Amino acid sequence: MNSLLHVIVISGFMQSGKGTLCKHLMVKNKGIYYISSGELVRYHLENETPIGIRIMDEVSCGNYINCDTISALCLQEVQRIVTETDILVLDGFPRTCKQVEAMTSFLEKKRPNYKLIHIAVTTPSSVCRDRALRAAEGKGDRFSRTDAKMESFENRLKADMAHMHALGDSLKDKGAQVVHIDGTNMLDNITIYSSDVMQLIPATQCS
């Protein structure tokens, strides 16, 4: 395909509301392909695929999932659909500068006519923490304690805070158009935010 590919990278802390925004974009706009790193990881873990087994080995040792593993996982999915769409929404990938390099290098080879759009969901960490606590309490059971879930959230939040600024700089260096969205009241403003994002894409490619 020679048409312009719009690559929309949605970044933000866990429980920031970025997943909600992505799903609203999918429902309201045809032709969008949505890739969530979290959903991909869950799929491969549940189906015990080779890459899922590798991820399980990494996390069972108390480590974060390797950066290269996530890149391979997400780019494998991008490869599958990159010639079938002009609008690609990425949730949870890239998260690091290294992953930005992997993504852009891949696109230069497979779909060089592309535009990066970075939607930064800047929800305060305190709001994200409150949402995570409510989710943990609501889904808790005797095999999965709330305190364990919150410890996992805090570790993830700490990691995200460490690299979020650098991620934004890296995407900007690659020419990304940047839009900041406050996810504090995401549900109340979801229609407005979704419209703001889609206004960045020509109407002929949103149909």
The per-residue pLDDT for range 161-187, each reduced to its tens digit, is 888 999 999 999 999 999 999 999 998
d(CA 180, CA 11): 10
User: For position 67, what pLDDT does the model report?
Assistant: 86
Tokens of 111: 């779909």
d(CA 87, CA 34): 9
d(CA 46, CA 40): 10
pLDDT tens per residue, range 16-67: 999 899 988 888 777 899 999 989 999 999 999 988 888 888 777 656 788 8
CATH match for 5-37+85-201 among 3.40.47.10, 3.40.50.800, 2.40.30.10, 3.40.50.300: 3.40.50.300
User: For position 114, what pLDDT does the model report?
Assistant: 96
* Domains in the chain: boundaries: 5-37+85-201
